[in-house]
Structure formats: C-alpha cells, structure tokens
Amino acid sequence: MYDDAEAPLVEQAREAYSSGEWSQAYDLLVGLDARDPLSVQDLGLLAEAAYAAGHLDVTIEAWERAHAEAVRLGDPIAAAGAAARVALHLLMDTALMAPIRGWVKRAERLLVGQEETPVHAWLAVIRSYERLMIGDVGTAREWAGRAVEVGSICDPAAAAVGRVAEAHAVILEGDVRRGLILVDEAAVAAVSGELDAVSTGMVYCELVCMLQGLAQYDLAEEWTEAMERWRHGNGIGSTHGRCRVHRAQILRLRGATAEAEQVALAACAELRPYLRREFGWPLTELGRVRYQLGDLNGAEEAFLAARQTGWDPEPGLALVRLALGNVALAAASIRDSLEHPLTVPSKELPPNTGLRRAPLLAARVEIEVAVGDLVAARDAADELVQVAASFESRALSASAAMANGRVRLAAGEVPGAQSAFQSAVQLWSLVGAPYEVALARTGLAQAHRAAGDEISAGLELAAADAAVKILRAGHKTEERARGPNSFRQTGDYWFISFEENTVALRDLKGLHYLARLLAHPGREFHVLDLVSSGTDPAAVHSGLHDPELASSDGGDAGAVLDDQAKNAYRRRLAEIDEDLDEARLTRDRGRVVQAEAEREFLIRELSRAFGLSGRGRRAGSASERARVSVTRAIRHAMDRIREHDPPLAEHLERAIRTGTYCVYLPDSRLNMAWIT
C-alpha cells in the first residue's frame, strides 16, 4: 500500500473527483497504483474516476481487483459489493449476460447468512434487468419488487432503478396503464436530486428507453428534455452519450433531421469508450437519421458498421436496400431478421416481444408489397395491428394504419386503402411526426389516383413533397449569415478569423491539432494520427514528431491488444465458458444460444483487435500518452484563444470532443465552414 508521503496525492485525487475533474483524479490514482497497489476503498475510487473519464476496461478491472483484495482480507460484504459493481458495469455497457450471471453468483455466495444490505438490493436490480433483457418478464418483475423492497430500507438508488424495472415488466406483460402509473412513481427519484449521478442517469435513461420502445413519444420527449437539463454538470460516464442518442431520436421524429445527425454523431463520439455491442445502438440511430435525410450511402455505412459490432441494424438496412433498388436483398434481409432474431440483449431496446417486432413488421409490409407477396404483407400487417392494440400506442396504431393502407392498395381495395391512409395521416399528425405524415400522404395520393381522383392525389403529393424538402433542407434557413471563417498559419503565427473578428496567435502544438479537426468536421481522428508526422505535415514544422508516440508506419503502434485488454477478454471468455457448461447441464437451450453468441462476439472482437469497422486497436501505452498530450495541447490552445476571442473559444468548447478519438462537431444550424 502507499506510504504516508503519498497520502496527500490520494486526497488530491478525491478532491479532483468530487469537483468533477475526472481525468485528473484518474491520472493521480493510476500513478499511485503503479507505485503501490491501492486499498479496496481507493480501488473503488479509481473505478469510478476511470468510468467518468472514459476508461471502462479500467473500471471493471479495478472492481475485480477490489473484489479479490476484499476476499483476501476476509471482508465478504466489501467483496460482494465489488462483485455487484462488476456485474452492474457489465450490464450497463457490455450486455454480456454470461459474465453478469457469474459475478452475481459470486456476490450471492459471499452474502449467504448475512443480513440484508444495499448489495442485496443492487443484486436484485441486476437480476431483474438480466431477466428483462432476455425476455423472462415475470421473473424480472419479481426481482424488481425485491429491489424496491430491500432498497426502500437501505438504498434509495437501488429502489429507484428497481421501480423503473418493475414498470417496464408490467408494461411488457400487457398492463400498460398500470405500468405508466409506476413510471410516474419511478420518475420521482430522478427529479428529487437525492441519488448519485450514475444512479440518476440510469433512472432517466431507462425511463426514456422504455417509453421510446413503447412508442409513447410525448412522454419520452418530456423525460428526454428533463434528462438533457439534468446531465449538464451532473452526468458522468456514458450518460452524456446515451442522452444524446435519445435526443437524436426525438429530433428525428419531430423533423429536425439535420440537427439530429449532428447529435447522433456526437453520441457516437462520446459512447465509443463505453459501449461494446451496444455501440450499434447510436450507429443505428445515425443510419435512421441519414435515411430520413435521403443520404442512402451514409445510412448504409452506419447500418453496416452497427452490424459489425454484433448489433441488428434492421429494419433500417433492409429499407435502405429497398430504396437503392435491391428488392430481393431487402426482402431476404427483413425476413431473416424476423424469422431468426439476433439474441442481443439490450437495455436500450425491448426484449424479443411484439414491441421489438413492430418496426420490423412495418418494414416487411412495405418490402413484401414491393416484391409482390401480398400474403406475407397482409400477415405482417395483421400482426402489427395486434401489437398496436396490445400496447395502446398512438404511434403504433399509426404504423399499423400505414401498413394496412399499403396492403389494401396493392390488393386493389381502393376505398379501404384511402380510409387507412387517411387514418395514418391523422394519427401521425397527432404524434407530431412530419416525415411519417409525408409518407402517409404519399400513400393517400396513390390511393386517390387509383380511385381516379387526380385533383386530390395532386394536392396530397404536393403536400408530401413540400414537407420532405423542408425536412431535408430546413437547416439551411436557420444558418447565420457570416463571413468566411479561417484558421491559417503564416510563419510563426496563426491568423484566426471568426465572425468578422481576426486574431493572431504565436504557434502552439494545440493550434495544429485544432486546424486539422476544423478542416474535417465530423471526422474522428485517433490521437496517434494527430501527432504522427507521417499523416500531419504541420507536425514536422512544429517539432511534434515524438518517436515514443509514433511508430515507423505513421503513428500506428500496431493492431494489437495490450496485455490488460487481452487479460480482460480471457476472463470474459472463461466466464462465458462456465455459464455455457452450466446451461448445457440444465438443458437451457435459450441460454446456450445466447452464451454461444457472446463467445463468438468476443472471439471476433479479439480477431480484429476490437476496432470499429476492422480498425485495429493501437498499443495502449502509446495511445494513452498521446491522449493526455493532445488533450492538454488542445486545452492550452483554447485557453489562449479565449484570451483574445471569447466567442470562438465558447464555440470550440461546445464543438470539440477530445479523448482517444478527437472530432469537431459544430451545430448544424450554423454555417461553420473553415478555410485552413
């Protein structure tokens, strides 16, 4: 353990964490731990600081070490608490069910004979969500009740999250009205300000995910706005990124598609350090936004990237292929998704129930009509009607009306098609979804034309076309008129023009990095790419080339896993193998399929060094040094800019994201083109 001389550094780390200086706290604790292993308590602090600073693997490893040390010291409560934290982070950010179950069992064994503690309440929360995510709704509700019962006595945060899980289970069982009453009860904890930041973020996020999945968009929007207000200055870890995905979903629904794309891109940048398979969630939302914008190539790229993470991007990918004219591939894709759903548990999506199938069914109707298989289209439409009736959702009813209209029009049942499309227009208008209203109007125009009413058809089609044009180009009307922005170097000075104000600054490393990011808005740069002279000619001029940070191939230290990551993957694989053996002994076929899928996912991640889209992971030590160096340099440059041009500094604070990957994401409503 660390000696008395290092105790002030621990206090500095605690103070930094308390004041929200996550990276500073993390760096201090990592340095201390490298010299002498941290205590159980301080390993917990390291885990929390690492999570807030974007180091999920370190978070989980620190809690694993805290568990092992507490076992060695003979402290079963602390050991069980650390095991529960491992399971909770695996649940929140990896959705790997087999390791979650393994860590829960370790904790439960340690608690045998112990009186009820907060650990018992959190284990009940984890058990509830583990059951909920694989579709065992009844057992999930029972565990949620247990979390509320125990948590109400000893841990309000566990009780609050348990109430959300209980509401979700009740809704999935079909009692929507009672479930929504429970939602209101659960929401009280989120707005009370009595919970810690991670628990509050989890309550908000689960509420919004549940309401989005239920297609209760008005309520989802209310809680998304509440979560958005709360997260500024409060949210840590993955909360910021998750909140952005929810906001992008609402913006897309309301027709603010250009802004939704920027928010979705920001969400991808913020969630990259946290999510594994569930990284497909923000990517899929990005694809849906681009599809609505008419950017079919960009949408397909996002959907395929989501699929490479092990996520099911349907029905988006099938609809893109239909729009690109590949009807046969679209049909095969949507049929396979419905007949062989991926067993990818997720907190962000409903389990494999009617709610999960609803958007797939709506897409299948559209695709089967294009193929000419009206029997399959009608079957899908009928099932969608049943789902909409079960969950009492106006949006699901609107989707069912659209599907019914498409089937009837294709079958030549013109009066029925007119009535169905008219209902869809009215319902989508009440929902407040202009893009879907435009689609319904297009269908209604086709039905009027089939009835020989060209005047009505022309009116509906003109209204639909006008709406789509507004949705895809509306952001241009919000752009501010401004002169060109420039960020250029001449000799030892940078001349920066922003909103008709020009300043001159002496050369700094961070200005080179900023210039690179501003020249490519929306593009992510690995920090090693930024410091590498092989990819940044300006680095040579400024002496930025660092042989310790860049290798001979231009800054890439190799598509390899560092030892820490390799060991983490080996542990996860061992936990999955243990769960798989148990599932086979009990002949639990569903659990076997799930564990095998998780094992394949991890092996695939190892084989490609878990980089997105096949991008190999850079060696950890070089990346970490580069991350710290680049972040500090950019922050220093922005501080200098603030001294001379506060509005530009404020803009950069909002738009620049730093970390292992850096990106410039300006507000889409502003004309932020730069000359560099």
Comparing 636 with 565, the larger pLDDT belongs to 636
Comparing 262 with 143, the larger pLDDT belongs to 143
Largest Cα span, the chain: 89
What single letter denotes the amino acid at residue 509?
K
How is the chain split among helix, strand and coil, in percent rounded to 5?
Answer: 70, 5, 25
Say which range, 139-148, 529-538, 631-640, has the weakest mean pLDDT.
529-538
**First-residue to last-residue Cα distance in the chain:** 51
* pLDDT at 229 > cutoff 60: yes
* pLDDT at 601 > cutoff 80: no
Q: Which residues pair with 493 in a beta bridge?
A: 490, 506
* pLDDT at 287 > cutoff 90: yes
What is the structure's pLDDT at 343? 66
Secondary structure element (H or E) that encloses residue 449, with its range: helix 434-450
CA distances from 335 to 190, 330, 368, 572, 577 (A): 40, 9, 9, 33, 31
The residue among 542, 544, 540, 546 whose CA lies nearest residue 506 is 542
Strand ranges, E, within 190-247: none
Please, what is the Cα angle at 227 between 668 and 17, to 5 degrees? 100
pLDDT, one tens digit per residue, over 294-316 is: 989 889 988 998 888 878 899 99
* pLDDT at 274 > cutoff 90: no
Say which range, 47-61, 220-234, 607-621, has the weakest mean pLDDT.
607-621
pLDDT band, very low/low/confident/very high, at 554 (cuts 50, 70, 90): very low
Sheet holding 661-664, edge to edge: 525-526, 661-664, 656-657
pLDDT, one tens digit per residue, over 490-530 is: 777 788 888 777 787 888 889 999 998 888 887 778 787 78
Q: How far apart are alpha carbons 271 and 139 in whole angstroms?
A: 30
DSSP readout, 382-448? HHHHHHHHHHT-HHHHHHHHHHHHHHHHHTT-HHHHHHHHHHHHHHHHHHT-HHHHHHHHHHHHHHH
DSSP readout, 282-323? HHHHHHHHHHHHT-HHHHHHHHHHHHHTT---TTHHHHHHHH
Tokens of 501: 């104000």
Most confident of 38-52, 182-196, 500-514, 620-634: 38-52
Signed CA dihedral, 218, 222, 224, 228: sign only: positive
- Phi, psi for residue 503 in degrees, rounded to 5: -130, 160
The CB-side HSE value for 24 (13 A sphere, CA atoms) comes to 13
Tokens of 60: 């989980």
Q: How far apart are alpha carbons 293 and 435 in whole angstroms?
A: 10
Tokens of 674: 């730069």
Residue 467 CB neighbours (<10 A): 18
Tokens 């094992």 correspond to what residue? 599
Comparing 334 with 526, the larger pLDDT belongs to 334
Q: How far apart are alpha carbons 657 and 639 in whole angstroms?
A: 15
Rounded to two decimals, the pTM is: 0.75
Query: What number is the average pLDDT over the span 624-643?
Result: 86
The residue among 554, 534, 517 whose CA lies nearest residue 672 is 517
The residue among 574, 583, 582, 578 whose CA lies nearest residue 603 is 574
pLDDT, one tens digit per residue, over 411-425 is: 999 999 999 999 999
Q: How far apart are alpha carbons 638 and 192 in whole angstroms?
A: 36
Q: How far apart are alpha carbons 190 and 172 in whole angstroms?
A: 22
Parallel/antiparallel/unpaired status of strands 525-526 and 661-664: antiparallel
What is the structure's pLDDT at 21? 83
* pLDDT at 534 > cutoff 80: no
Tokens of 154: 């000893």
Buried b (16+ CB within 10 A) or exposed e, 362-381: bbbbbbbbbbebbebbbbbb
Query: What number is the average pLDDT over the span 628-650?
Result: 88
Q: Which residues pair with 661 in a beta bridge?
A: 526
What is the structure's pLDDT at 240? 78
pLDDT band, very low/low/confident/very high, at 6 (cuts 50, 70, 90): low
CA distances from 634 to 511, 627, 664 (A): 7, 11, 12
Crossing angle of helices 414-431 and 434-450, rounded to 10°: 160
Q: With beta carbons less than 8 A apart as the criterion, state whether 668 and 475 touch.
A: yes
Tokens of 248: 């992008």
pLDDT band, very low/low/confident/very high, at 539 (cuts 50, 70, 90): very low
Q: How far apart are alpha carbons 475 and 670 in whole angstroms?
A: 9
pLDDT band, very low/low/confident/very high, at 671 (cuts 50, 70, 90): low
pLDDT, one tens digit per residue, over 186-213 is: 787 777 777 777 788 888 888 888 888 8
Q: How far apart are alpha carbons 84 and 127 in whole angstroms?
A: 10
